């Protein structure tokens, strides 16, 4: 059973939220759920990978307006899948890309760029 809440946020509010999160945070993870309760395995994996190397990062739960977040994020990254990680305003990737960077020993440097 999946939970699809009705969004109280307009598309413009979501775009402003996404823009601000990317601009104001060195590392930001747009994920399903939050740090305490990730709501999908990919979001949990991305969070765990970031937590290995960073104590300071921001997360944004996209579930309150999933379709709107997908559209706003796609404008920044060209991807519509969640999770998405941005470092210093630059799109890095989802959990698969973070895992590949980690396997190559490049994730720590990428997250501190």
- Contacts (Cβ under 8 Å, ≥6 apart) of 65: 7, 8, 9, 14
β-sheet bridge partners, residue 38: 33
pLDDT tens sequence across 40-82: 999 999 999 999 999 999 999 999 999 999 999 999 999 989 9
pLDDT tier at 9, thresholds 50, 70, 90: confident
Whole-angstrom Cα distance, residue 111 to residue 52? 10
- Please tell me the predicted confidence (pLDDT) of residue 7: 63
- Report pTM: 0.91
């Amino acid at each position: 059973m999946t939970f699809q809440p009705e969004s109280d946020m307009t598309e413009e509010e979501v775009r402003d939220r996404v823009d601000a999160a990317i601009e104001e945070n060195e590392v930001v993870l747009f994920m399903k759920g939050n740090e305490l309760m990730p709501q999908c395995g990919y979001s949990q994996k991305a969070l765990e990978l970031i937590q290995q190397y960073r104590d300071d990062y921001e997360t944004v739960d996209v579930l309150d307006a999933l379709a709107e977040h997908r559209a706003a994020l796609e404008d920044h990254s060209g991807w519509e899948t969640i999770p998405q990680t941005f470092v210093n305003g630059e799109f890095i990737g989802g959990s698969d890309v973070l895992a590949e960077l980690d396997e190559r020993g490049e994730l720590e440097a990428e997250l501190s760029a």
